[in-house]
Amino acid sequence: MADPVPSSAQTPARSSGTSPVALLLVGVVIGGISGGAVATYLTSSGATTAAPASASSPGRSAAPSGSTLPLPTSSTVAPSSFDQQIVGVVQDLLPSVVTVINYASSGQPQSSGSGFVVDASRGYVVTNNHVVENVRDSNAGAAFDVVFSDNRKVAAKLVGRDPLTDLAVLQVPAQGLKAALLGNSDDVPVGSAVVAIGSPLGEFQNTVTEGVVSAKGRRVAETRDIFLEDLLQTDAAINEGNSGGPLIWAATRQVIGVNTLVASNATGLGFAISSNTVRQVADELIRNGKIVRGFIGIQYTLLSPRQAAQLGLPAGTAGIIVSQVVPGSPAQQAGLRPNDIITKVNDQLIDVTHPLQTLLVRFRPGDKVKLTLFRDGREQSVDVTLGQPQ
């Protein structure tokens, strides 16, 4: 008999073709680095002051007193267009990025992560669920502080969180805020330059790294029971404490992801939750304080192009393969079977960038949805009335 599906989701089964990659959530426990030690290191050597340029060497700055090494000419230090683009992104977005400090019930800071303002007029800040989940009831007092790039620190309250997508929304006083713009993650091409901003290790606030979008539509196991879907993969450095910070498309200065995971046994392998998922989940959390998903009652794996070809499906077919149907579930009542290949929800395609979990966010228990599927090579549709997660 199949194990029951956890009540909070249509839990995807682990794909047998997934290679073992050790992944870390990139929140950080406070206390790993001494702030005093960091400050001593950074200020231990004094800077020298350059003398005025020598008249006998046009275009070249004179060396500092006591040095015989020439300084670069003005032409060699002129920033490239790419440099200017990255600098512009940072100048524009840095005021929107925050450090989130998570307090234990004792009132002592226990961990930290990153986040960013998405609505300046109402004070909403997006971060990761794992940055805020182990906290006392924020209604009993401020369980969080949010620190801005100018070192302003304000208390924040928890609006809502969603473990299945690892997203959360905080609210701070709507004063002097600048919001980052959520872009359309479907539009960003693989290879596009991106910038990550956050507070790695809980100490190095306002850290900027850059890289590219390495891949899209990744599906990664965050825990044994929870898969994150529609992830962007990037080689921009993402470290502990970067959780919840923005991944920004340099060309548009728009946020296209929330930095969340990094591979611990590989280099340049980080993952961000797509902005399209962020938009849907954050909107729902702001409206209702939680996500109530309609329950289907299946376990599934993604349909790969190779499997689609082996099954004789039309070229380009994408979707999911049902591996188990929960007894007594809406799926069983609607007649779904193992090995059914579901390709659409209400005529919207299921694929790596539009996973079933994301498509179901907009529906509630009692809603009826039409599933398009292939069974024994034939395409058909089945109506399913969504249930309440148990």
Does the annotation mark 166 as catalytic? Answer: yes
**Backbone φ, ψ for residue 8 (5° rounding):** -90, 0
Report the alpha-carbon distance of residue 260 to residue 129 in Å, rounded.
10
Q: Specify the long-range contacts of residues 76-79, CB closer than 8 Å, at least 24 apart.
A: none
DSSP 135: -
- Distances in Å between the alpha carbon of 96 and those of 24, 124, 178? 25, 11, 5
2: nearest Cα among 322, 291, 308, 228: 322
Q: Which residues contact 292 (CB under 8 A, 6 or more apart)?
A: 364, 365
**Residue 59 and residue 73 in contact, taking contact as beta carbons nearer than 8 Å:** yes
Q: Which residues pair with 197 in a beta bridge?
A: 208
Euclidean distance between the first and the last CA atom of the chain, given in angstroms as a whole number: 18
- Which listed residue (111, 138, 214, 243) is catalytic? 243
- Which listed residue (96, 130, 145, 275) is catalytic? 130
Quick count: other Cβ atoms within 10 Å of Cβ 88? 12
Return the sign of the alpha-carbon dihedral for residues 127, 272, 284, 331.
negative
Q: Which residues contact 30 (CB under 8 A, 6 or more apart)?
A: 101, 109, 110, 111, 112, 202
- Which listed residue (112, 138, 162, 166) is catalytic? 166
Report the alpha-carbon distance of residue 178 to residue 96 in Å, rounded.
5
Gyration radius (Cα) of the chain, Å? 24
Does the annotation mark 243 as catalytic? Answer: yes
Beta strands in the chain (DSSP E): 23-25, 28-29, 97-103, 109-119, 124-127, 144-148, 153-162, 167-171, 193-198, 207-221, 227-234, 246-249, 254-263, 270-274, 298-302, 320-325, 341-345, 348-349, 368-375, 378-385
Active-site residues, by number, are: 130, 166, 243
